[in-house]
Amino acid sequence: MIQVTPVILCGGSGTRLWPLSRTGFPKQFLCLTGNESLFQQAALRLNHLGNADIAVASPIIVTGEDHRFLAAEQLREAGIELGFALLEPVGRNTAPALTLAALAAMEGDADPVLVVSPADQTVVNAAAFTAAMQQAVGEAANGTIVILGVTPDKPETGYGYIQINQAETNAGVHAVRRFVEKPDANTAQSYLNEGGYYWNAGMFVLKASVWLKALEQFRPDILQATQAAWDKRSTDNQFMRPGMAEFAAIPSESVDYAAMEQCPGSSFPIKMVPLDAGWNDLGAWDAVWNVLPKDGAGNAHLGDVLTTDSNNTLVHATSRLVSLVGVENLIVVETPDAVLVADKTRSQDVKHIVTQLQKTKREEHTLHRKVHRPWGWYDTIDEGGRFKVKRIQVKPKASLSLQKHHHRAEHWIVVTGTAEITNGDKVLTLTENQSTYIPLGEVHRLANPGSIPLEIIEVQSGSYLGEDDIVRIEDTYGRNGLIG
């Protein structure tokens, strides 16, 4: 029986999919194609690899501190048990991320086959994906490094390529001759004409020990630095944090550059299994348009959309009616606090808008109006000079932290469900249409003791209404000293 541990690389901010993707809620957690997020789709695909010869363990997730609860909650919603989440204090690219996962997977003298996948891809043909991955797992169990290569259907300039050695093929598994960088249009067309070239999907299958040995040969500095960070790790339930200072000192490098591109011709055999399963890397809005169902005029519309005499458009409406008249090749993405209108051929340039948001320190770069927290979410529905109004939902059996504020008082009105409210030395139980007042500086907590979601309207008033005006005294989720 081959023991397999899925590893899902869940970093990145997806700047080219703004305004839906933001630093606080990046693209891998969005539902762009169906009812599951891209992250959930990746986890479910890998969870289905098991058969009579393959046993699949709970996944290892490599993500950032800010997204830990989001990843754990989305796995729970998908019915998948989290193995554990490795929390990177800063981004150091995919080679250190995979190294952390390999070190974690080998705890207790284990050495599973790691099936490594990004969290932000789509696959149309799940059966073909499973068959290719199971074949790759069988090869990797014998010590081979295996990469998945997507069969190209056009001269794509946005992906790196894998060239196979067509003379070394066995049962559909090819020896890798070389990796090549993203080509220009003419070179990409020549690859397509020549054959033997595949898109690099960034999915790898290999034993944990094999990765560590390859890294020891090709980039011992990354291995040593990551090992130092791993040795300084701390554990909080299913969350593991490498040493912060040690991790920040790791050289930033991708899996490809650190080792994979050096494997052909070395003592580490690397092979490729073709993947012909309707794969797509949703890097920008034009790629989202490509994978969505369309009407007879080539329009892909999500949400409340009306159009007339418009062709080849993508509209994603979140909170209101969006209408198009007599336009072509447009992308329109509407959210409650921002609207993007772009030429479909220029969708890669959305990142320049995000850069401007960063430079001017606008909140639209980081957060949506609706902000998700481990206990639920809040939506800022109105605000002025000395007031802010929020709609807050608390999950059943969940609670906010015990806290106080230096600069604001709060009024709470229960809309749905039952609220258990700590207000100073009093504990109140309020139901629909009942309310309470939290004076400035008073210690308080909001909890949902019921079995249905609790919703309240919160009206804040005071001289300063920022989210950093929280003195957190006690927190179920270990966020003492953190905002949110």
**Count of CB atoms situated within 10 Å of the CB of 344:** 16
Whether the CB-CB separation of 356 and 339 falls below 8 Å is answered with no
pLDDT of residue 484: 42
- Phi and psi of 310, rounded to 5°? -125, 145
Whether the CB-CB separation of 277 and 325 falls below 8 Å is answered with no
Instruction: Read off the DSSP letter of residue 30.
Output: S
**Among 64, 108, 107, CA closest to 88:** 64
Tell me how far the alpha carbon of residue 228 is from its chain's centroid.
26
Q: Give the 3-state secondary structure percentages of the chain, helix then strand then coil, rounded to 5.
A: 25, 35, 35
Query: Measured between alpha carbons, how far is residue 118 from residues 10, 12, 28, 305, 464 in Å?
Result: 6, 10, 9, 32, 40
- Phi and psi of 30, rounded to 5°? -95, 150
pLDDT per position as a tens digit, 338-392 = 999 999 999 999 999 999 999 999 989 888 999 989 999 999 999 998 999 999 9
- For residues 11 and 158, give the distance between their C-alpha atoms in angstroms, rounded to a whole number: 20
24: which 2 tokens? Answer: 């606080």
pLDDT of residue 480: 61
Residue ranges in the chain modelled with pLDDT below 50: 482-484
pLDDT of residue 396: 97
Placement of tokens 């009206």 in the chain? 459
86: which 2 tokens? Answer: 């490795």
Placement of tokens 């999919």 in the chain? 17
- For residues 132 and 146, give the distance between their C-alpha atoms in angstroms, rounded to a whole number: 11
pLDDT of residue 482: 44
Question: Model-level pTM?
Answer: 0.88
Instruction: Read off the DSSP letter of residue 75.
Output: H
DSSP conformation letters of 5-17: EEEEE-----GGG
Q: Can you list the pairs that 370-379 forms with residues at least 24 positions away whose Cβ atoms lie under 8 Å?
A: 370/336, 371/24, 371/484, 372/25, 372/70, 373/69, 373/400, 373/484, 374/69, 374/73, 374/398, 374/477, 374/479, 375/399, 375/400, 375/476, 375/477, 376/453, 376/454, 378/458, 379/336
- Phi and psi of 227, rounded to 5°? -60, -40
Instruction: Read off the DSSP letter of residue 408.
Output: E
Q: Can you list the pairs that 127-133 forms with residues at least 24 positions away whose Cβ atoms lie under 8 Å?
A: 128/275, 128/276, 128/277, 128/278, 129/45, 129/275, 129/277, 129/279, 130/45, 130/48, 130/49, 132/273, 132/274, 132/275, 132/276, 132/277, 133/45, 133/46, 133/49, 133/205, 133/273
pLDDT per position as a tens digit, 88-145 = 999 899 999 999 999 999 988 889 999 999 999 999 999 999 999 999 999 999 999 9
Query: Measured between alpha carbons, how far is residue 114 from residues 33, 55, 175, 190, 267 in Å?
Result: 26, 12, 20, 34, 20
Whether the CB-CB separation of 342 and 330 falls below 8 Å is answered with yes
Cis upstream peptide for 274 (omega within 30°): no
